[in-house]
Amino acid sequence: MMNSFEQMEAVIAQRRAEPQEGSYTCYLFEKGIDKILKKVGEECAETIIAAKNGDKAELVGEINDVFYHMMVMMNECGVTMEDVCKEMDIRAQKIGNLKKFHVSDHNT
Ligand SMILES: N=c1c2ncn([C@@H]3O[C@H](COP(=O)(O)OP(=O)(O)OP(=O)(O)O)[C@@H](O)[C@H]3O)c2ncn1[C@@H]1O[C@H](COP(=O)(O)O)[C@@H](O)[C@H]1O
């Protein structure tokens, strides 16, 4: 499963190193960070709507769009999957992460 993320990360890095005609990834890099971030936002919003609609196939598709655009953003920002996984491993060491319950949180 992790392999799919690593594979996508490698393809994105390869597109950056060797721009190709007709590549959507290259198009995003050419447009730059504002375009990439707009797409991340757009795909997140579409994922939220898909989650609400209860169509699992649609939701899986939207989640893939988010992951892909997020990984293009990561490449543009110099963040790797290794960085993300290291942080994930640190967090996995910790249990009991529930913040102290406040009365004011009761209805949220
Ligand atoms: N996972 C994806 C992926 N997910 C979504 N998309 C593209 O993201 C675009 C988003 O669609 P939208 O309708 O929201 O956007 P649009 O109208 O096409 O264009 P803009 O709004 O961005 O201008 C579509 O063109 C999808 O094809 C992706 N494009 C590429 N990948 C991966 O990147 C690899 C390399 O792709 P290329 O760079 O195109 O060779 C592929 O093999 C995939 O693994």
CATH number of the structural domain spanning residue 62: 1.10.287.1080
For residue 4, how far is its CA from the centre of ligand 1 (angstroms)? Answer: 16
Domain containing 72 equals 32-83
Reported ipTM exceeds the 0.85 cut: yes
For residue 52, how far is its CA from the centre of ligand 1 (angstroms)? Answer: 23
Atom of ligand 1 nearest to the CA of 27: 38
Q: How many other CB atoms are found less than 10 A from the CB of residue 40?
A: 18
| Eight-class DSSP state of 103 | G
The count of structural domains within the chain is 1
Could you tell me if residue 27 is inside a domain? no
Q: Is the pTM of this model over 0.80?
A: yes
For residue 25, how far is its CA from the centre of ligand 1 (angstroms)? Answer: 7
Q: CA 27 from chain center: how many Å?
A: 18
pLDDT per position as a tens digit, 16-72: 999 999 999 999 999 999 999 999 999 999 999 999 999 999 999 999 999 999 999
- pLDDT at residue 108 above 60? no
Nearest protein CA to atom 9 of ligand 1, as residue: 24
